[in-house]
Amino acid sequence: MTEKSNTENQEEKARDSRKTEPQENLLTRLNQQYSSMSKGQKRLADYISEHYDQAVFMTAAKLGAQVNVSESTTVRFAMQLGYAGFPEFHRALEELVMTRLNSIQRMQMTYGRVPQGEILNTVLQSDIDKIKMTMEEVSSASFEQSVEMLLNARTIYIVGIRSCAPLASFLAFYLHMIFDDVRLIQTSSASEIFEQMIRIGEEDVMIGISFPRYSLRTQKALEFASKRHAKVITITDSVHSPINAWSSCSLIAKSDMASIVDSLVAPLSLINALVVALCMKRQEDVVDTLETMEEIWDEYQVYSSDEITAVKDKGDIKLS
């Protein structure tokens, strides 16, 4: 008992340290190091601080040219800020844009530059890219850990708000076929969220889904679950996502950096993989459940093919 208690205390302290640790982003680094920068680096810092929505589309060479410094100066500038190179610096810039732009600004940035005739291909290609990026960045170890946590859970809670609500609903629908106790948190009011979670505890798992712009209510729900010592799985777009402050295990799926419509393709694909992995672990239970559901669907004519068959039997229509 003592050993288990010590382990739990260590995990709680680790979670608490992540919560209290300030979220260091690109602007924080710029402010902290500004006084020690050269004149050229200060011009870069000033431009990025004021025009990050434009800088995000620039290469190192173009960004340097914008403020009259060399490409090598721009790369050294990124490394001085603590990034491994310009690509890592650019990813931090993308994350800054995701969290700071509103929907109108995102629409103007992205689709304002795309000709009408190219929108279909542009959007589809963007979704393809998001899935490829997700394949590169999602952790297989975290994925397997999430599967095991769900398999051992007493109750599974799922929360996703606004544009993430369809993802949460989709996940809940299929988890109901695998597990006995799955609860989709309804979010009509902030107080009702906590009322639905009042019995959450250390044997339970909470799945939180949030993408920019991050929902404060989702963050509060995960904080509540964490304080009750439940395990928390997050599905989000970045390791720097604020909901990861309460995460026991994080699954990363890329969404649009800047778009009026949140791209849910990569997150949905990740959720599909999670459901399939769980089904493979619980094959016999899933088969039994599906067989029972098929009987119910047939009896109550849930699907249109059954309805057409019923009408045909009455002689109302004839099918060749």
- The pLDDT value given to residue 185: 95
Report pLDDT for 207: 98
Q: What angle do CA 224, 230, 232 make, to 5 degrees?
A: 85
pLDDT digit string (tens) for the chain, length 320 residues: 444 445 455 445 444 443 333 334 788 888 888 989 999 999 999 998 888 878 888 889 999 999 999 999 999 999 999 999 998 898 888 877 766 666 555 555 555 556 778 778 878 887 888 898 899 889 999 999 999 999 999 999 999 998 899 999 999 999 999 999 999 998 776 678 999 999 999 999 999 999 887 889 999 999 999 999 999 999 998 888 899 999 999 999 988 644 556 678 999 999 999 999 999 999 888 888 888 888 887 877 777 764 445 444 544 444 43
Q: Does residue 26 lie in a domain region? A: yes
What pLDDT, on a 0 to 100 scale, did the predictor assign at position 319? Answer: 41
Asked whether residue 44 falls in the same domain as residue 148, the answer is no
Same domain for 171 and 215, yes or no, is yes
Residue for token digits 């397997």? 144
Domains in the chain: how many in total? 2
- 295 in any annotated domain: no
Do 185 and 50 belong to one domain?
A: no
The reported pLDDT for the residue numbered 110 is: 55
Report pLDDT for 255: 81
**Phi then psi dihedrals of residue 261, to 5 deg:** -110, 125
User: Are both 140 and 92 inside the same structural domain?
Assistant: no
Query: Looking at the domain assignment, is residue 236 inside a domain?
Result: yes
pLDDT at position 92: 86
**Residue 217's CATH number:** 3.40.50.10490
Q: CA-based angle 191:194:197, to the nearest 5?
A: 155
Of 264, 281, 298, the residue at which a domain comes to its end is 281
Full residue range of the structural domain in which residue 229 is found: 135-281
The number of CA neighbours under 13 Å toward the Cβ of 144 is: 3
Residue 201, token pair as written in the block:
């505890």
My answer on whether 259 and 144 are in the same domain is: yes
pLDDT value at residue 118: 79
**Do 68 and 196 fall within a single domain?**
no
State the pLDDT at residue 271.
97
Cβ-proximal residues to 34 (8 Å cutoff; 6+ apart), any chain:
42, 45
- Cα–Cα separations (whole angstroms), residue 1 to 4, 6, 8, 10, 113: 5, 9, 11, 14, 62
pTM: 0.66
What is the C-alpha separation between 31 and 91, in angstroms, rounded? Answer: 18
Is 151 part of a structural domain of the chain?
A: yes
Same domain for 141 and 227, yes or no, is yes
In a domain, 85, yes or no: yes
We report the CATH number of the domain holding residue 28 as: 1.10.10.10
Contacts for 99 with CB less than 8 Å, ≥ 6 apart: 25, 212, 213, 214
Are 76 and 181 contained in the same domain? no
Measured CA to CA, the distance from residue 70 to residue 64 in angstroms comes to 5
Give the model's pLDDT for residue 313. 52
Q: Quick one: pLDDT at residue 166?
A: 94
- Whether 287 maps to a domain, the answer reads no
What is the rounded distance in angstroms from the CA atom of residue 6 to the CA atom of residue 173? 37
